[in-house]
């Protein structure tokens, strides 16, 4: 039976949406990561979306039954999806998704301006956008990996590590452009950073260890595009900007731990970690031991070294000399 869109609510009020975008990028060209969730729906409801100059890559986190999308007077039947399948949707037409089931998806929304920016930064000529079958389900392991990498940060978007978010969002754009776009490069290859660029980038990172920093601000400091800066930094340093930033935060935390005067919560804040739990988890992953245990081990090591040093000093030198 054909049903009219107007028979349903325009949007379910139980939809939980969390969105994280690129930092320091204009809204019309900012790549977005969004998680959308809804519990069990008792009756059929519509989720309205579209009307944007955007291509959206949707990653399904759980199995969904067949459903329907209304696009103008057109009715599109969507097949069932399996967990971690993905599909690309053209969001330019206004549309509504009729659902009567629970939902848990993440999406990467790529504005046309973001794709144009990518093409400019990568010297790609005659880039005609993405070519895809709208809504076609497939398994894309790269999109799956990027989606799973960002999901933990959707729980607290305000504390998400901005430089890492920016890096992943730009990597998603690159993957989509190269996989689903018709590209022709000018053939120029970017090398590493010039010495002054490497020095500026490192100085800016060092000056912002305790706060958020964007890829764009680092690229601007080096007078490069985000794409060129990211490639050049890795070429010169051997790590991504986020990896180098995290290592510097760990190095700084080790200095503060050795000092012995600061509680772990204060060290976490001083070094730019979201909280003590984030600091502990990251430190343990990189050092193989929790920060508290590392500090205790350092204290024991220092005491042992002091005792060994004292043992090497002749007895006459250790005892105070009597006054003449």
* Model confidence band, residue 150 (pLDDT cutoffs 50, 70, 90): very high
CA-based torsion, 70, 74, 79, 82: positive or negative: negative
Residue 1 lies in a domain: no
Considering the domain architecture, whether residues 23 and 101 belong to the same structural domain is answered as yes
Say whether pLDDT at 251 is over 50.
yes
pLDDT at 284: 92
Q: Between these two residues, 40 and 233, which has the higher pLDDT value?
A: 233
- The predicted model gives 112-126 an average pLDDT of 88
Mean pLDDT of 73-91: 92
Give the pLDDT confidence score for residue 1 in this predicted structure.
34
Residues 204, 241: Cα–Cα separation, whole Å: 11
Helix (H, G, I), strand (E, B) or coil at 34: strand
**Per-chain mean pLDDT for the chain:** 85
Q: Alpha-carbon distance 81 to 304, whole Å?
A: 61
Residue 255 has pLDDT above 70, yes or no: yes
Residue 178 and residue 278 in one domain = no
Buried b (16+ CB within 10 A) or exposed e, 269-293: bbbbbbebeebbebbeeeeeeebee
129 with 232, same domain?
Answer: no
Same domain for 160 and 197, yes or no, is no
Statement: residue 5 has pLDDT above 80:
no
Note the pLDDT of residue 12: 46
* Least reliable range by pLDDT among 139-148, 179-188, 194-203, 261-270: 179-188
Domain span including residue 100 = 10-185
Provide mean pLDDT across the span 282-292.
Answer: 91
Check whether residue 179 and residue 230 sit in a common domain: no
Asked if the structure places residue 248 within a domain, the reply is no
Task: Report residue 253's pLDDT band, with 50, 70 and 90 as the boundaries.
Answer: very high
Mean pLDDT computed over 265-282: 91
Confidence band, pLDDT 50/70/90 cuts, at residue 126: confident
Mean pLDDT of 206-235: 91
Beta bridge mates, 38: 103
For 15-30, what is the mean pLDDT?
91
Q: What is the pLDDT of residues 163-172, one digit of tens each?
A: 999 999 999 9
pLDDT tens digit string along 210-220? 888 999 999 99
Question: Tokens representing 224?
Answer: 């490069």
- Tell whether 2 is covered by a domain: no
**Count of the separate structural domains present in the chain:** 3
Statement to judge: residues 44 and 87 lie in one domain: yes
211 and 178 in one domain?
no
Is position 156 within any domain?
yes
- The predicted model scores a pTM of 0.78
pLDDT tens per residue, range 128-140? 889 888 888 999 9
Query: Are 233 and 267 in the same domain?
Result: no
**pLDDT score recorded for residue 316:** 57
Query: In this structure, is residue 98 part of a structural domain?
Result: yes
Summarize the confidence of residues 235-254 as an average pLDDT. Answer: 91
Domain membership of residue 3 (yes or no) is no
Cα 51-148-86 angle, rounded to 5 deg: 50
Say if residue 15 is in the same domain as residue 134: yes
Q: How many CB atoms lie within 10 A of CB 320?
A: 5
Query: Do 165 and 38 fall into the same domain?
Result: yes
Res 3: pLDDT = 38
263 within a domain of the structure (yes/no): yes
pLDDT of residue 183: 63
pLDDT above 60 (res 8) = no
The domain spanning residue 288 has which CATH number? 1.10.10.60
200-211 pLDDT, tens digit per residue, is: 999 999 999 988
277 assigned to some structural domain = yes
Q: Are residues 60 and 200 in the same domain?
A: no
Same domain, 49 and 172: yes
Distance CA 91, CA 105 (A): 16
């Amino acid at each position: 039976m054909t049903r009219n869109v107007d028979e349903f609510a325009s949007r379910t009020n139980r939809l939980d949406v969390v969105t994280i975008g690129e930092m320091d990028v204009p809204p019309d060209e900012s790549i977005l990561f969004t998680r959308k969730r809804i519990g069990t729906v008792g009756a059929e409801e519509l989720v309205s979306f579209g009307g944007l100059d955007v291509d959206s890559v949707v990653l399904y986190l759980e199995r969904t039954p067949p459903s329907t999308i209304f696009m103008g007077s057109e009715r599109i039947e969507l097949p069932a999806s399996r967990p971690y399948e993905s599909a690309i949707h053209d969001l330019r037409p206004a549309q509504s998704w009729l659902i009567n089931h629970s939902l848990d998806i993440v999406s990467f929304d790529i504005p046309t301006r973001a794709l144009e920016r990518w093409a400019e930064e990568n010297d790609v000529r005659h880039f005609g956008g993405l070519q895809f079958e709208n809504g076609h389900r497939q398994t894309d392991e790269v999109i799956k990996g990027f989606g799973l990498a960002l999901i933990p940060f959707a729980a607290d978007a305000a504390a998400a590590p901005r430089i890492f978010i920016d890096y992943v969002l730009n990597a998603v754009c690159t993957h989509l452009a190269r996989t689903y776009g018709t590209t022709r490069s000018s053939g120029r290859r970017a090398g590493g950073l010039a010495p002054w660029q490497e020095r500026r980038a490192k100085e800016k990172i060092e000056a912002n260890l305790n706060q958020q920093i964007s890829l764009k601000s680092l690229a601007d400091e080096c007078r490069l595009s985000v794409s060129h800066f990211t490639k050049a930094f890795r070429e010169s340093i051997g790590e991504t900007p986020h990896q180098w930033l995290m290592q510097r935060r760990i190095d700084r935390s080790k200095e503060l731990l050795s000092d012995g005067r600061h509680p772990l919560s204060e060290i976490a804040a001083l070094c730019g970690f979201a909280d003590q739990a984030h600091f502990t988890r990251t430190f343990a992953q990189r050092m193989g031991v929790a920060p508290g245990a590392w500090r205790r081990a350092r204290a024991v090591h220092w005491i042992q070294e002091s005792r060994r040093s004292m043992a090497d000093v002749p007895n006459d030198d250790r005892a105070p000399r009597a006054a003449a």
